[in-house]
Amino acid sequence: MTEHIAIYGKGGVGKSTLTSNLSAALAEAGFSVLQVGCDPKGDSCSLLNNGVPIPTVFDLLREQGEISVDSVVHKGFKGIACIELGDPFDSGKCGSAEIARALEHLKRIDLFEAVAPDFVLYDISGDSACSSFHAPIQQLGVSRVFVVTTADFMSLHAANAIFRMLERYGESNVPVPVGGLIPNSIASSFEESFIADFAAQTRTRTLGRIPRSLMVRQCELYGKTVIEASPISNQSYFYRRLANQIVDEFHSQANASVPLRPEELRAWALEWGDRIHALENGLVTDGAAI
């Protein structure tokens, strides 16, 4: 059975790099993987293809008026099947609606049956996510949503917006469970605590912490994943651990997240602002030393 996984995240959090390393770790473990890049930049799969971009679904539709399984699927590292939807904005229509249309094209040509992978990973920008975008993905059988985040407020603000979108969509459709938040580029225990507290506030969880490392940047410059370019590095371990956690996720039950209302999110942010102020200024509150 194919497991469809949606990976959301605000632009700039390293979502595509993480997704490619996750695909590589799953393939290394013996699973067959299809990665579908839904970002308009069309660069989701480049690290699986030696840094070289692949033709996109939208480019092929504009140039040829039609697509086939052979024309849109490109094999990358360890046989990972790669697809890039590409830039939908040349049409002058809603980007999310056009990406939904591209996914419908893939379904129409029976691509998922032809490739028949163990896992399909959809790399989705959280900046443009909306219900019209998520609907066709769920129709393809998405059974888990993961949100990649860094330890900055705007990244968590975007994660909360994604949770709100999923909640609104679930009001009239079958809700898709959130597998959890994936903390990426983490540099300290404080950042872990910050994200973990947000997860607790939204009734979700964290998994697979990925530390900040120059190894990731170096491998990106080589056009490769860390799994391929530096397979025995410590950084590779973290991606492999995340892959194992996601595989195990399908043996457990996940619940829908509960997004914070705008006033709750603001109050939470102010509380953490006060904590950081106290930490930086060495303030001790009553009973803190007991």
Catalytic pick from 43, 127, 152, 197?
127
140, pLDDT greater than 80:
no
69, pLDDT greater than 70:
yes
CA distance 256 to 274: 30
**pTM of the predicted protein model:** 0.92
On whether the CB atoms of residues 152 and 112 are closer than 8 A, the answer is no
pLDDT in tens, 198-215: 999 999 999 989 999 999
Rounded average pLDDT over 242-264: 89
Q: Is 31 helix (H, G, I), strand (E, B) or coil?
A: coil
Q: For helices 153-172 and 189-201, give the axis angle rounded to 10 degrees.
A: 20
Active site residue 127: yes
Active site residue 41: yes
pLDDT in tens, 12-21: 899 999 999 9
Strands (E) located in the chain: 3-9, 33-37, 74-75, 81-84, 119-125, 142-149, 178-186, 210-211
The percent helix, strand, coil of the chain (3-state, each to 5) is 50, 15, 35
Active site residue 10: yes
Catalytic pick from 41, 107, 118, 197?
41
* Backbone phi, psi, residue 124, to 5°: -125, 130
pLDDT in tens, 258-286: 999 999 999 999 999 998 888 788 765 55
Lateral strand order in the sheet of 119-125: 74-75, 81-84, 33-37, 119-125, 3-9, 142-149, 178-186, 210-211
Q: What is the pLDDT of residue 290?
A: 42
Catalytic pick from 15, 59, 78, 123?
15
For the chain, give the mean pLDDT.
89
Rounded average pLDDT over 113-123: 96
CATH number of this structure's domain 3-259, picked from the four choices 3.30.9.10, 3.40.50.2000, 3.10.180.10, 3.40.50.300: 3.40.50.300
Parallel/antiparallel/unpaired status of strands 74-75 and 142-149: unpaired
Domain boundaries, the chain: 3-259, 261-290
